[in-house]
Amino acid sequence: MRIQELEVCNFRGIKKLKLEPKGKNFLLSGPNGSGKSAIVDAVDFLLTGDVSRMRGPGTKDIKLKEHAPHIKADAKDCLVKATIEIPDVSEPVEIKRFMDRFQNINVLLV
C-alpha cells in the first residue's frame, strides 16, 4: 500500500493537515509535541478504527471518542482520509473514517 494523500481533521493535536507523499517514502521530524505521533495515530485509526497507543497497561482504559478528537472539536468533526494505491488494483482507493462512526470505514475507488 502506498499513501498518495493523507488528510487529518480535528484528530488529537491536529486541527487540519494535508500531506501529499504521492506514494513515496517520507520522514516525520520535528520537536517534541509537534504532532509526529498524532500523524502515525491518525493512520492507525484510519486503518483499524483504533489507536493502539491508547490501549494496554498503563493507559487506564482511555476512551477513544474522548481523547482522539482535537480538544476544541466534537467527535463528529474528526475525520481521517487517505487516497492510497494498492498493488494489483488499477485505480486509487479513497479510505475515510469518522470518529463519531469509528466502527465504519468508507472505501471508494477513485
* Confidence at residue 64, expressed as pLDDT on a 0 to 100 scale: 65
Q: How far apart are the C-alpha atoms of 26 and 105, rounded to whole Å? A: 25
When pLDDT is cut at 50, 70 and 90, the band that residue 110 belongs to is low
Place domain 2-109 in its CATH homologous superfamily.
P-loop containing nucleotide triphosphate hydrolases (3.40.50.300)
Cross-strand pairs, 28: none
Going from N- to C-terminal start, the domains of the chain cover 2-109
Cα 3 to Cα 68: distance, rounded to the nearest angstrom: 22
pLDDT at 69: 62
Model pLDDT for residues 22-77, shown as the tens digit of each residue: 999 999 999 998 989 999 999 999 998 888 877 766 666 666 666 666 667 777 88
